[in-house]
Chain A
Amino acid sequence: MNDHMPLLTIPPQKTHKSFFEETGEKVLQIGDSFNLAFNFLGDITVSFYRLILGKSYFRWEDFYLLIKRCGVDTLLLVSLISLLVGMILAFVASIQLKMFGAQIYIADIVGIAMVRVLAAVMTGIIVSGRIGASFAAELGMMETNEEVDALKTLGVSPIEFLVLPRVLALVLMMPVLTIYADLMAIVGGFFISIWMFHLNPLEYLNHTQAAVHLSYVWIGLIHSFIFGVIIAMAGCLRGIECKRDAAGVGNATTSAVVTAITGIVIATAIITFICQVLGV
């Protein structure tokens, strides 16, 4: 072997970008991310239209399995978290209300807060971590294993075959899970009020019924529908865009959860503002 031949050629070191350069680049990427997300939403809408026309390649058996998965995988967590949030809300409300001897209004606070917004937000966060992340990991692995390429070369749209069933399953299941979370939270508040504050059970239920208008239920359902779209889109988009390297699937999963939760908070703020303006 030639003694003068270097054993290892060290590539020239990359010059590190300054904090401001990196921040600037990230800010400029926000526009691209929005562009990508809207294009993806457009593709999903076109696929849904093709499904209605009966032209889409949609596997109903996958859809039913996904519906089951979205429900079964999250039910226990939704039960626990909603029950506890209902209890916590009852405790916190009681701190002020007991000073005025108005503890019966715990029922109003728990009912209105959970049904209007909190049950949907809590369910959305649980579903982001449980289902959105699994969508990203699953599609990321499929991208890495060239399964998505295999679909494309067969002339099958990955949006129709992989993304649309996931989006529809989650959009369908989110309102169901939210209604269930509403009930669990009310049960949590009920138990604390009866057990700790010795309120009359019938009076508590009557107060809840009077406070929670049907319009609040609809507002909660609108939240959950929009959250379903956000979570499914974030999971599927991050999965499909997954890089084919060791960190790719991990990054896609993390990014899916972060994107979904950020989207949920932003959407909640927008819906709340709109409801306020409309006086609902």
Chain B
Amino acid sequence: MDHILMNTLRVNLQGRAYDILVGPDLLRRTGELIRGLGIGRRLGLVTHPALAETHGYAPLVVSSLRESGHEVRVVTVPPGEESKSLDQAACLCRELVRVGLDRGSALLALGGGVIGDLTGFVAATLFRGIAFLNLPTTLLAQVDSSVGGKTGVNLPEGKNLVGTFYQPRLVVADVLTLRTLPAREFRSGLAEVVKHAMIADAELFRTLEEDADQILARDPSALQAIIGRNCAIKAKVVEADEHEAGVRAVLNFGHTVGHAVEAAFGYGTVTHGEAVAYGMLVATSLSVRRGLCPAADAKRLEALLRRFELLPTASPEPELLETYIIRDKKVRDGVLQFVLTLGIGSVTLAPVSDRKDLREALHGVQA
């Protein structure tokens, strides 16, 4: 029965294909699911205290792995973006060495994007790279950060400045873990879902509009369906452009402004989803201004984001945002690269050389 319920999505990346498994109650089957991957006996599991204690997900994973004959060392890191630091990565590396991990060991991440990015980075660099398994427990991580192999930590100068591209050996997305997610964090993940629909799937966008209630009620089958679709969209983009040389940049839709919003408000004040939602509105408004996108589509986007309660109540200062945008790493030879939309389900990469357009769009989206 379980097997019918589980979706398997294969991501094909040169010589490093791996599966994303999506379904309910998969964590207690972790041991069985990783069998056949040639994973070493000794494993490290990185998670945060709440997942280990309050929700009991870590014990579930650990006992399943032990039943399969693995030795598991659990290491916890505090929740929150602050943990995505070089210091935390260093502590983790040192602790994993001290508890006896070696080149043949594997590292599992159980948690959200922070845990996944941090653990992925450690797996990519410890002993010059050991096997990495990702068990995302937040919507954002399940639909976004667990696909594509981006790992990284932040510097005081900016987010994700340090990192690697490193593909996991397996991703297990257990949709039941989403039930315990705080409401705001769950909605934050929906922003990436909307983003994927905007980028590549007008039908998914309609599904989101129509099934908004079930989704917000976290109905497992509704979630499984949209998570599967999302991973497929992201995987397709990543396959086409593993190292972000071109096409993959479309995934940054809403992110150029989104990162600036996060930075302007201070990390943690707004959720990533709220920031991206705001960024998508700015990018769409810019697209409408340039005559690329029908105004009606902009309205539908705004309505859906409002339905998912993703629009911030206060807007950041446009001038401040502009400063942060210019600092963004996607600036190429001084010209700002923006992902603009051609209407729901389609995007394009375009240079924004005229700052006036951007300024007007930023002012236009004020709450």
A and B: bona fide binding partners: no
